[in-house]
Structure 1
Amino acid sequence: MLVDSHCHLDFPDFAEERAAIVARALAAGIGRMVTISTRVKRFQQIVEIAESFGDVYCSVGTHPHNAAEELDVTADELVRLSGHPKVVAIGEAGLDYYYDKAPRDAQAQGFRTHIAAARRTGLPLVIHSRDADDDMASILEDETGKGAFPFILHCFSSGRRLAEVGVALGGYVSFSGILTFKNSAELRAIAADVPRERLLVETDAPYLAPIPYRGKRNEPAYVTNTAKVLAETIGVSETEIADITTGNFFRLFTKIPRPDIAAG
């Protein structure tokens, strides 16, 4: 069994065939999927999707692109919404200096709000970080000093130091289809050095489809391709990487029930 720790099933790309996409993932052995919130104001749509499928869960949070639009979202509101049984994470939140779609101070403010919610709930914070390694490391170190919180550096494509800081602070590192790209040798070298007990896989679907689907719409079933390359990268079998990453997933996403092994 594999899991897709990060996808966006609410995006328009999937609207016409969402049930078929979930069915294809399950047929491919993807036993759990987490569809990730990018706007708290669209939370109801996200949670309705999670409620519609037994193996799909969701998060609640504001993507850094949308930070300026949702600065009124408080930690109290995030905590309240996370009480829904299908909400298993906070975020995604963080810093994106590549697109800079929101002022950087707004991104940082929103990020710290989400950290507070993760700390209070004990739910993992799904972190988006792009071209912001130094500020991200600084905020993580500062906030961890105020009290630890679980987190995942999702769709990791940053530098080695941020991976090391994240791991040192107790975080997990998740790899997407980017890991499979020919020009990602440096990223694979970083992945090889992440402790096995902190590794996760994801799709970030509908984006970043792995080889051999690069350039096409991504979907949760394709996490198998990323897992295969991660297995090769760290020198284990595909069965072992499934066991490693799935075990890590359930240790981090503690609100998601583990499958009944006897029944499975």
Structure 2
Amino acid sequence: MKKFGKILMMKSEEYKKYLKRIKRDNILVLLTQILIVVIFIVFWQIMADKNMVDTFLVSSPKKVFTSIIDLIKANNFWNHIFTTVYEIIISFILGNVIGLLVASILWFNKFLARVFEPFLTILNSLPKVALGPLIIIWAGANIKSIIIMSLLISAIISIINIYNAFKSTDENKIKIIKSMGGNKLKVFTYVVLRDNYLKIIESFKINVSMCFVGVIMGELLVSKEGIGYLIMYGSQVFNMNYVIMGVVLLVILTVMLYCIISYIEKISKK
């Protein structure tokens, strides 16, 4: 018994060291990523100060920061941020709900799955920008058009990813539930969903970027507020500070939403 206890203690010590090593590696990766961003910004500013790049075309970190301060002083900054975030959140929620619901229906009904799979593939391959003018004519030049454009991108990809995850469920587990008298609903609840909840969260990660693409595409076409509008306005008046500022704000928002979903994924794994 004493030997067994010592072995357990040794293993637990090794496990603690292993966890510390993983934590250290994660911190090192994060610090390296931050360092790369800082080096890029500093290098960019030095290039601008030394006139090695044309700031009219590529702006500079100082000018971008000044543009943000000017927008905040003009009380316009948060309106643009709120508009884009609101559109993204609505698109993200609706896209994932539609994706999960339709994927579940297709899993339950193989006939419908066979009928609609080719249509989903075709819709996914269509360039959504080409449908933009049609959506504007049908839904009007308003927030509805932006959300519909975003849903066209995010919902279809969500349906395909989640349905493919459902199809890849271990058949042996399904057979075990069926052999115990379980119906299709129980198979779906106890096997399909439980086996694939991490894949569903992974599809949420993909959907974040897809929602951004859809919303910005819509804002470029119809919006009078939002980050997409700032980018379009900047390009129209040849103010690259606004264009670069819009891109920087998009990157920050994307990272924030991605980190939130990654945190949810981390909690769900415990």
Q: Which has the higher strand share?
A: 1
Instruction: Tell me which structure has the larger Cα radius of gyration.
Output: 2
Q: Which bracket does the TM-score occupy, shorter chain normalised?
A: under 0.3
Q: Which has the higher helix share?
A: 2
Q: Which has the higher contact order (CA 8 A, sep 6+)?
A: 2
TM-score (norm 2): 0.22
